[in-house]
């Protein structure tokens, strides 16, 4: 079983996209629960989380969050990121055969412009992070952010792709000013 954890701050639309992409994983029995960590959102993020049956926290201790996860594995995603293709089978197979953390493969369809790839460092969770609850419990510190789990981790690559969160943000109305 897998617990999905994501952070949000005024990402209502992006959060909805991520949660809707995870429905198939819940239906197949892979996703056991979803945890949303909110950073003072002023939009409808809490309503989106509630409608999806996710646990929504406005204050938290990361060690308690990891301990409360129902799954034996955690998938850390940015709000707006969406696993694609055969992700359910790939993640289930990976969890059954491996112990090392993993990331999704970069999407071939959604790539940053060349210059942006050269100049900009990708966000720590741009390709998600799949790790065991046991590994996360060792790493977790009270006030850490989700991206801190990814720092300095040797990871493997999953066969499935992830549509990164920046795609959803770039397609948001008014994004041309971002």
Q: What is the CATH number of domain 2-172?
A: 3.90.550.10
pLDDT at 172 over 90: no
Beta bridge partners of 102: 130, 156
User: Would you state the pLDDT for residue 168?
Assistant: 63
For the chain, where are the alpha helices, taking DSSP H only? 12-27, 45-51, 62-68, 87-97, 114-119, 133-139, 165-170
User: Would you state the pLDDT for residue 175?
Assistant: 46
User: Would you state the pLDDT for residue 170?
Assistant: 60
Q: Could you tell me the residue ranges of all domains in the chain?
A: 2-172
pLDDT at 105 over 70: yes
Pick the most confident of 80-89, 108-117, 169-178: 80-89
**What's the predicted TM-score (pTM) here?**
0.89
DSSP letter assigned to residue 109: S
Q: What is the pLDDT of residues 141-162, one digit of tens each?
A: 988 889 899 887 889 999 999 9
């Amino acid at each position: 079983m897998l617990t999905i954890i994501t952070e949000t701050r005024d990402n209502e639309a992006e959060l909805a996209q991520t949660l809707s992409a995870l429905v198939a994983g819940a239906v197949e029995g892979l996703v056991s629960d979803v945890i949303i960590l909110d950073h003072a959102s002023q939009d409808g993020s809490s309503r989106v989380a509630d409608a999806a049956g996710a646990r929504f926290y406005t204050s938290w201790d990361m060690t308690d969050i990891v301990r409360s996860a129902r799954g034996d594995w955690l998938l850390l995603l940015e709000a707006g990121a969406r696993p694609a293709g055969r992700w359910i089978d790939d993640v289930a197979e990976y969890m059954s055969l491996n112990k090392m953390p993993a990331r999704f493969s970069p999407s071939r369809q959604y790539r940053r412009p060349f210059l942006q790839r050269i100049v900009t460092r990708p966000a720590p969770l741009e390709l998600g992070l799949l790790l065991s609850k046991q590994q996360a419990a060792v790493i977790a510190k009270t006030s850490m952010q989700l991206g801190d789990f990814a720092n300095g981790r040797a990871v493997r690559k999953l066969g499935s792709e992830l549509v990164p969160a920046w795609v959803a943000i770039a397609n948001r109305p008014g994004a041309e000013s971002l």
